[in-house]
């Protein structure tokens, strides 16, 4: 009876030792694996030496020797010049023509090198924010207030983005700027804002008038050019007609002159008869009798005969 009772403490001790060993094994095994999601990267540090792990999935690490820190690689962002209570002092900027404006930006970034993002600086996002503020103020200060408020926004954003990218490459802190955009730009007071709105309205009216004028010009110029082409073509046709007529008359005169040189008497008579043929049909013949009565006789063909259809002349005899 004593032996059975004495065996109970020994068995409990073994069970306790086994339970402790099981817990230790579970802790060691559980701490030997870690998983990385698609939008994450990890940094495994072995005796102070970091190494990036970029492949998603389940990975092994040496317990108590290696430590793992995960870094999100998704695109994140922050506002510059705006907070929950409204535009702050960092939003107040001065332009090249010495006007004050409230300009709000939104910057987007992502981690490209998790090791540098964790160990190259204490707060890489704050460094990016400071760089962005410096680049924004430098760029805004080189543009006029009209450009910042209206036409120059795209160019300003592009210049600021390139300046930030260049500085990030120089600092090499493991993060990359994805994009930066102007959220809002407005004068600091209501009075100035109304004045700028009136100026903008006037500019839009000017552009509308210019566009209408250009439209009218584009409609009228083709019509005027077409009319001018028509007049020129008609003038060219009349010119060519006159030239051809003159050339024909010159050729006829030269032909008559040659005939006249060879046969002057015959040529004169023929020219006389031809002239009479043209003149006589339009003449009135008036015959006055002895008693003073005047009789107009038309046409003259009755004196010379009537021309038949076949070209012969029949006399009145």
Ranking 63-77, 100-114, 180-194, 253-267 by mean pLDDT, the lowest is: 180-194
Helix (H) or strand (E) holding 279: helix 264-279
- Domain limits of the chain? 2-71, 75-188, 264-300
Give the chain's radius of gyration (CA, Å). Answer: 55
pLDDT at 266: 82
As a whole number, mean pLDDT of residues 156-185 equals 93
Torsion of CA 251, 252, 258, 262, to 10 degrees: 160
Instruction: Reply yes or no on whether the pLDDT at 315 is more than 50.
Output: no
Instruction: Reply yes or no on whether the pLDDT at 132 is more than 50.
Output: yes
Contact 301, 280 (CB under 8 A): no
As a whole number, mean pLDDT of residues 228-240 equals 92
180 class by beta-carbon count within 10 Å (0-12 exposed, 13-18 middle, 19+ buried): buried
Q: Could you tell me which residues are beta bridge partners of residue 77? A: 108
- Whole-angstrom distance, CA of residue 136 vs CA of residue 74: 24
The whole-chain average pLDDT of the chain stands at 80
Q: What are the two backbone dihedrals, phi and then psi, of residue 14, each rounded to the nearest 5 degrees?
A: -65, -40
Instruction: Reply yes or no on whether the pLDDT at 85 is more than 50.
Output: no
- Whole-angstrom distance, CA of residue 146 vs CA of residue 144: 5
pLDDT at 139: 93
Dihedral sign from CA coordinates of 144, 149, 155, 160: positive
Class of domain 75-188: alpha beta
DSSP labels, 105-141: EEEEEEES-HHHHHHT-S-HHHHHHHHHHHHHHHHHT
102-130 pLDDT, tens digit per residue, is 889 999 999 999 999 899 888 999 999 99
pLDDT at 25: 58
């Amino acid at each position: 009876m004593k032996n059975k009772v004495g065996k109970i403490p020994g068995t409990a001790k073994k069970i306790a030792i086994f339970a402790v060993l099981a817990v230790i094994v579970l802790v060691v095994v559980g701490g030997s694996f870690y998983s990385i999601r698609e939008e994450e990267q990890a940094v495994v540090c072995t005796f102070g030496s970091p190494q990036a792990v970029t492949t998603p999935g389940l990975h092994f690490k040496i317990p108590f020797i290696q430590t793992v820190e995960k870094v999100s690689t998704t695109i994140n962002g922050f506002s510059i010049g705006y907070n929950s209570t409204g535009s702050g002092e960092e939003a107040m900027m001065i332009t090249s023509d010495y006007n004050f404006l409230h300009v709000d930006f939104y910057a987007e970034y992502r981690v490209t090198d998790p090791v540098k993002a964790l160990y190259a600086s204490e707060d890489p996002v704050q460094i990016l924010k400071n760089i962005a503020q410096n680049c924004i103020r430098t760029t805004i200060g080189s543009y006029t207030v009209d450009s910042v408020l209206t036409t120059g926004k795209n160019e300003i954003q592009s210049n600021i983005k390139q300046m930030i990218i260049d500085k990030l490459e120089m600092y090499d802190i493991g993060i990359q700027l994805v994009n930066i955009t102007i959220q809002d730009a407005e004068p600091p007071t209501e009075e100035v804002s109304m004045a700028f709105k009136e100026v903008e309205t006037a500019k839009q009216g000017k552009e509308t008038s210019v566009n209408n004028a250009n439209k009218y010009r584009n409609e009228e110029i083709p019509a005027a050019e077409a009319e001018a082409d028509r007049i020129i073509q008609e003038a060219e046709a009349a010119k060519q007609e006159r030239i051809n007529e003159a050339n024909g008359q010159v050729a006829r005169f030269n032909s008559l002159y040659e005939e006249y040189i060879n046969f002057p008497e015959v040529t004169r008579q023929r020219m006389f008869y031809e002239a009479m043929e043209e003149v006589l049909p339009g003449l009135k013949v008036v015959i006055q009798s002895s008693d003073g009565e005047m009789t107009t006789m038309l046409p003259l063909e009755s004196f010379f005969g009537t021309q038949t259809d076949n070209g012969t002349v029949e006399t009145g005899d």
